[in-house]
A and B are shown apart, each in its own frame.
Chain A
């Protein structure tokens, strides 16, 4: 497969691939280009690059090695058709991936056709990793499920090692998406997604074969499956449900896939999806001989928590996330987190909400959109908690039944739209380690350059504490500063913050705390140290809120903008990971009663997932006494936490909107008797006076 060179690959003037003066060393540009290819999920033809830039070849080889793309073209010729490998005769190449070539082959003794995934010979140098790969593969081999590509076994002979597995007839979803994309660019409406791509009028052909509107599993699909670009939501849901079934089975057997992405969803002859490459991702990392190794291939489908491979536990919900991203891409033909390089993609996975699928493809039904959006929530706790739930909702959609996922209401939408570029939210939702992973990847890339200083990407705004912390971290990593030293520095800043609190310099304190939060998020401190730090920081932050509260109350700020600054500092702490800090901030804002805090409070309410923090904010909203909060509070009637619903009910009662009875209508059939009761008694009491 040839790569399409990205737009900026024009040769520098003065040579076809010749390195110019040191100042115009083409390497950085080539590496950027390569990273973009890797990120886009496409494969790199290493030979082509080596040919194009002969002067760079040693350094390119090094790069391919560290990025885990060695062993492809650089690694000796592929197995030609007709050659044999033990009991197998190679029929032809099917494709290549991060782990080597995949061939169609005949297993001579059993006279059956199989797919062979042959590991790059470079990988064999690491016998321990090969052994782990074998163990993983054999664990997966025990899974038997119609929606999972069966693994027959693993063999190592001479200088090759390979996996033998069930041969799946059709394209993978990545190829299908490619076809859909190209059809869209060329203004074609119908796309054949099985068998060789046809030119000409697919629509005519498909109508003749009565293929349009078929669903996976329908009898006609043996002849081929045709996608109508205007209407394939049901097919996508059916694919998703199949993949979710496969996941459910694997999860029940304790196997996490870890690498769900379009190229691992294969379309079977029956028009249904089979999932391949279960549980292999972990061993792939070992095999790929990379030092940083966190991202082999494309990170686009990696869940926020998954990137943090070292400390965060990756669980079933990471697979759910990745399947959600896969469906997002299938439905919209856009990757939700496309970026210019690995770091950029990861940063987006962390910091941005993708556009709602229906904005990219207005034909996506609302319910399916809701399902996909729920699956790709950044906070694992907000996603489907099991593959079964996910699959069930997709099937409900397919059967035109009501789904269980709730669309983001006005509260969530408001919060998302007014989200300011602040760090605090990320704290509660995302693992810091994700950011660390970004840093590691970037740092390792710069080491390939041989450079020590990391350049600040132009779009980084340095007054964002998270971004400055990130840059500081890059620099530290590039300079080889050990973790311990970095943590000590964080502890030292904590002590300074304490001193600043004593001095009463609240503006400076606010900046210090924001920067500390960012640094802590980026560090992967040992749990004990983190706990210690948290308890120290808690008292500083509580102290900060009190001091800020007092300063506002006593009119210390003098100017309106000064007061706003102090209020902003309190509002920032509403998003603090520590519920006690949030409680203090909420209490202070409720007490001060400044209407301008309403937005920040609603914002925080939408972003916190802990019950303590949310109920504190709700109570404070009641004291703020702004009718603007009413619709948002009324919406909490849907909240799964009874304590939150109850707090919302109390707050509404105290805000006493004109149409109280109407506003409280939703609580009339609350699942909890005591909540229903409170509503009734309150309304009755009001009726009396």
Chain B
């Protein structure tokens, strides 16, 4: 639907990511590198999934169920591996901070790194699943698929891209917090929510299913955001008694 439509779809999918990027990440080069690194890792996991399942697609509709389960499993395993890498990086950064006499990493820094990592995953997801479909949207027409005659394919893809971007970003925050503090509930929450959100997208296979599928994806994203928000709120309000840390919290919360 010409340039305006195409840009609109791209902004729906990536607008919040862009604002998150500009406000939180752009000022810190390390976070930009984190975004790129985690995007690359997500891409590698996606390629691994694709290699695994390429032979079976395009196939029968029921193949999507085992596909989703295995793929979400692979991605959660990659998230754990990413956590191990993060521990090494954190150790390295703390050592470096000691060497150049700067403060060690505090809670807000770690949350920012978690946001950056999640954003990397989310942006990679949106780009590959949504943005790469949008090229025809810049042309003169639009496109509807059979099972969803209510909304153009591009709009649905944009909304789902948005939902999953938020889901990935904030589930990384939850995951980092849970793995650091060994909180089992949150550790389970992340993969379960990821799996639920993915399985709920299968509703889109039914005729007219996208009417339900899109809101459900967005609801999952909002729930994840709420949980992550609560965690961050708890951490920053009670976390550190030192004045310096509180100052940092207040100044960084005024982003």
A and B: interacting chains: no
- Interface set of B (CB-CB < 8 Å, partner A): none
